[in-house]
Structure 1
């Protein structure tokens, strides 16, 4: 797609502001903008006009159906397609779409995970139009982003609490800004999700039941080469991959997704796509679209896209960095300015963020907990399971000075002379980056790096938004009635005290080191190493009250999410255990029987000729011992999985999978992988890591 083509087609499948302005009567457009930007309630008469314009636009683009596009607790997206046709008495049809159909739908609420909010026989649920996220056309279907709630009004999705958390943060941030004499019409978060993924050949994918069923390899011995040469990172992109990336860009741009950066990541076969920042909930919608397009379009190029956090052992897994900031009427509130030490408003929001992360470190860890992400966190390829904040040299120096009531000054940006006259001097940033930090300041935003590559980012953003709203509330309440010099003095005192109270969360060093884990324990920071460790924090009474206070989740909704996450963890591990048992019995053992049998036949044949086959005899013994080990490990895993599956309490079941099933899975894998190292390649029933990771 050339330059003119890009500008012409960008957003062509998106019901953009420009399209609305062109197709809606001015009063309708103005009122809809107030709904989107100021949270005004939507009148049905306005909805009818919007629905008509939306339908006419969609029909012109070739759409025949519409769908309410929502995000159930599975974390992925769902849609039910309805055609625009309405039969007439004369046998013809009318293409219609009403305001009622736009703003409300009715999917089956009993077939999605609900954490106990809905019984199987309670099937009714509703989808409600989210006008803050533009409608779009996908596969000749007009997709309308919506929230998803139960018959009795509880949130059954990821989006509803996210939107509520944005409302909570906006309201409290406005209170803070009013105290500074800078009232804002609209405060919003911005998010930029960096999406990592692997690409392998589709034919290899189809030969691996573990990849098909689980999204990751459950077996596989170490490849002869990994990422130790570091030549893949930012390396030249293979032509096949480049063609795929180009199609992804083209398709995302048509949908108005601002895909910006693409490159090879650290591990072989690993890549990354990063967009330009957008309003928080819209950015998450667009990330879900991106994930869908990556998987779909890969097949056009004979590839399979793996979005699991750990598709392969021995090389890095995949994360999704959540770059977060907050803006008021287009101005970034986390922009330090030339003199951040003199920018009191910035310091207030900085202190609020630090306090938010420290106060709710357990919830932030919980928000990224999953069976897949447990393979990454703390594994020297991703941030540790311990939440900490990195500020960088300049801000850290300012924070230390404020804590100790010392004077400080901001440092200008240094120019680096490269010693070559023809090369330009480089303008050095005021701070380096720390890739080992879970929550790092990167200039005018914070990068939350613990998120898993396949997760819906609503969960961490709900926690972060609500936690910052709480701190803004505390500041605004403490400063109520204070003006002028008194306000300035009290605000600065609040910043200093807040930084003193929460200084333990700030860490500027190597988050991968054992020393940090010991230091974090001394500081009293939580270290929730696994999903079963992290999940119970969600239903601690103080955390339930926290969500309820700001209208984000009530007690029933919190408990439902806890149960749903616990059930999903156990279900995923049950599937993985079942897949391992199937592969061991149906693929690996038969292959090893064949190989060891052929070697044994060779030994017998040579013996008849009087030839001593010492190496072959030893190999047959090793193979036989390995076969027995696999057989026993398979039976052990099957038994432990059956025991775990029988546990009824969701938390106890999670614990059983962590403590009993996962060790059995690791034992079976080790037994199989040991045999892969000595089995003939022609006998091995699935593509090896050498084939999966290194293809041309």
Structure 2
């Protein structure tokens, strides 16, 4: 029965590592498979090139004539690189990417005149069959039309022999069916709102870009071992397995020497990323055994989201060539660190200024404080929505332990910046005297660069932390599409900046205040209002849970409870006002995410029941029978003395029987509860039932299985163990 496990281990022992050699400098090959600015200048007419640039920089529409020219140039470039097919590459609400390949090759109706054809119509729009994608009730199954439309702000790229064109995905009636469409709307909203505020400080600012630098954590497991575990194959995580005697307690893996085989994988992955224009820069061992991380240089948020989605696909494909399986699940192994996707977010002007980085003058530092404090205010107002933005069945396992932030959303800014805000809070109400203004600008605002230069505060338990010149949204899960959290974050900050400008303008117009006085007065009130969201301590402590409750902060530990914030009046009004999503689109996403949660727990329950009954119990019975035969033999030899001699064996037989009985009973009970939950027609009730009634059985069943793993002879145990999964290189 243990054939698969030992075959997998033997396969690894005889495997030769895949070799990979980088022949060119990264700078020489970067973006060579991307239809970027350099390529467009070579393959497009001047009018076509300018049309794309105007669309990217100013949001202008590309007319059909220019689209034909762009498509022609794109096709010629692709054909010159051996491409045979094209696809509209989009991000439906499945959490993965989607593509339908069409060949450039066409013939006339009678099969003659073969030609490679690709026109503006095929570039700009396609009509995939959308009936099987999640829609949350927006459309009926028989209304299968869905449209993909070209997003020129994210350049086309070649993957394999296919030209991939990033697109949005919308329904026949115009609602967004993807992650990209709301993100683009949110980015437009924050651009407009931030530019208006920036002009208090610099009239030359015409555009503000939200930037994103994600950090992708992941596990690498030998594919033979992963394939020997049904739970990893079906759910992406281990549903059972006793913790290894050695885990991460020695801290010897973190930032350690990267294993040779893993490094070879990383080098080929980075090579593929360079070709695709994904600017990966950092690689290192993470805390848990066989856990790693890579991170890129910051990019414009829409492009960064596309690159992360593409990267996850590339990682899996490259891993196959190296006999690895990549695990993106937030908590694939019990007892060791889970994986996150820290989203480092900031705002940059077209004049080259990072709005969350201090400058060299008091005025630039006042601008920094304006965006810094408004971001904190936005999170304070919408903390429940922030929690909802990162809520998934898999991320629920990770939040609150092993360096992952808790489910309570708070903001960490460090002791030194806390003192700066306290000093600002103390400024006088109303108009400032020249002396007060000078003292404030020189002794408080002017010293901010020095404060940040020496600020080494870090809090690994904070879900939203300021880290010098950016905010780090640490609570985002490793499987997530970054667009979900970035749509929410950029929306709430955009809304807050709009409100801020209204308040400042009111003080200027109605109270006859100077601009700086008005800004200081509004910021001072915001500092008072946002104290509850600021927290510098241990996010894991029970004391913080109690304190957070007193402060009125939410603590939604499960996805069904967290998601309700998405359809609150506050959230619906926010997205509607900014034209990011209408009520139908928001409510559809709520339904989709509830359904996804339910299905994932349902699948895990089925897989766990199958493994427990068809792997664990038969293996335990087999070993128990060996013990019984042993006891019978001892009885034949020693007669009445056998009970003393076979005491340990008899005790072990009883213990195994108890666990077998426990597994059988609890799997049966879990199955019955699943059936009841499946009969519920309301999606909220069904998700709650799976969360509160079905899911608790997982730990009980697992506890019995994990005990049996320790009791049963290793030679006959069928499932690959943690020590093998985590420490086989």
TM-score, structure 2 normalization: 0.91
Q: What displacement does 1:293 show?
A: 1.4
Q: Which moved more, 1:250-259 or 1:516-525?
A: 516-525
Over residues 58-81 of structure 1, what are the superposed CA-to-partner deviations in whole Å (9 max), with x where a residue is unaligned? 111111000000001111100000
1:602 lines up with 2:602 in the alignment: no
Q: Note if 1:77 corresponds to 2:97.
A: yes
Match for 1:108 among 124, 129, 136? 129
Question: How far apart are the structure 2 equivalents of 1:391 and 1:631?
Answer: 51
Equivalent of 1:657, from 669, 679, 690?
A: 690
Q: Distance in 2 between matches of 1:473 and 1:412?
A: 25
The unaligned stretches of length 5 or more in structure 1 are 416-426
Counterparts of 1:360-375 in structure 2 under 5 Å?
360-375=382-397
* Shift in CA distance, 67/488, structure 1 to aligned 2, threshold 3 Å: same
CA deviation after TM superposition for structure 1 residue 681, in Å: 0.8
Q: Which has the higher mean CA deviation after the structures are superposed, 629-638 or 129-138? A: 629-638
Q: Deviation digits for residues 177-226 of structure 1, max 9, x if unmatched?
A: 22334242321110011000001111110110100000000001121111
> Secondary structure in 2 aligned to 1:677?
helix
Paired residue for 1:388? 410
Task: Give the whole-Å Cα distance in 2 for the aligned partners of 1:93 and 1:676.
Answer: 63
How many Å apart are 1:458 and its aligned residue?
A: 0.6
Of 142, 158, 162, the residue aligned with 2:163 is 142
**1:588 to 2:616 alignment:** yes
Alignment of 1:167-186 (within 5 A): 167-186=188-207
**Which residue of structure 1 aligns with residue 563 of structure 2?**
535
Residue 717 (structure 2) aligned to one of 684, 687, 691: 684
Q: What is the Cα deviation at residue 8 of structure 1?
A: 2.5
User: CA shift at 1:2, angstroms?
Assistant: 5.1
Residue 118 (structure 1) aligns with: 139
**Structure 2 CA distance, aligned partners of 1:613 and 1:312?**
37
Using the alignment, how far apart are the partners of 2:325 and 2:154 within structure 1?
A: 29
Q: Is the contact made by 1:71 and 1:147 (CA closer than 8 Å) also made in structure 2?
A: yes
Taking the TM superposition and a 5 Å limit, the aligned residue runs for 1:217-616 are 217-329=238-350, 330-338=352-360, 343-405=365-427, 408-409=443-444, 411=447, 429-480=454-505, 482=508, 486-610=514-638, 611=642, 612-616=645-649
State the partner residue of 1:42: 62
The number of aligned residues is: 685
CA distance in 1, matches of 2:100, 2:23: 36
In structure 2, the partner of 1:423 is none
Compute the displacement of 1:3 (Å): 7.6
Aligned to 1:153, the other structure's residue is in SS state: coil
Q: 2 CA distance for matches of 1:392 and 1:624?
A: 55
For 1:22-70, what per-residue CA distance to the aligned partner results, in whole angstroms no more than 9, with x for missing partners? 2212222122111101111121111111111111101111110000000
Instruction: Report the Cα offset of residue 485 of structure 1.
Output: 6.5
Distance 1:413 1:471, change over 3 A: closer
Alignment match, 2:43: 23
Work out whether 1:67 is the aligned partner of 2:100.
Answer: no
**How many Å separate the matches in 2 of 1:64 and 1:55?**
10
Q: Give secondary structure in 2 for the equivalent of 1:182.
A: coil
Looking at structure 2, the residues matched to 109 and 205 of structure 1 have their Cα atoms a distance apart, in angstroms, of 32
Aligned to 1:420: none
Contact persistence 1:390–1:437 (CA under 8 A): yes
Return the match for 1:6 from 6, 26, 30. Answer: 26
2:185 to 134, 141, 164: 164
- Report the equivalent of 2:6: none
Does the residue aligned with 1:343 lie in a helix, a strand or coil?
Answer: helix
CA RMSD of aligned residues (A): 1.8
Q: Determine the structure 1 residue equivalent to 2:675.
A: 642
TM-score normalised by length of structure 1: 0.96
Distance 1:300 1:380 in 2: 31
Question: Alignment partner of 2:580: what SS?
Answer: coil
Shift of 1:447: 0.3
Separation in 2 of the partners of 1:299 and 1:475? Answer: 51
CA deviations 1:106-149 (Å, max 9, x no partner) are: 11121001111121111000001011101001120000000000
Equivalent-residue separation in structure 2 for 1:245 and 1:27 (angstroms): 41
DSSP-derived class of the 2:514 partner:
helix
Indicate the structure with greater helix content: 2
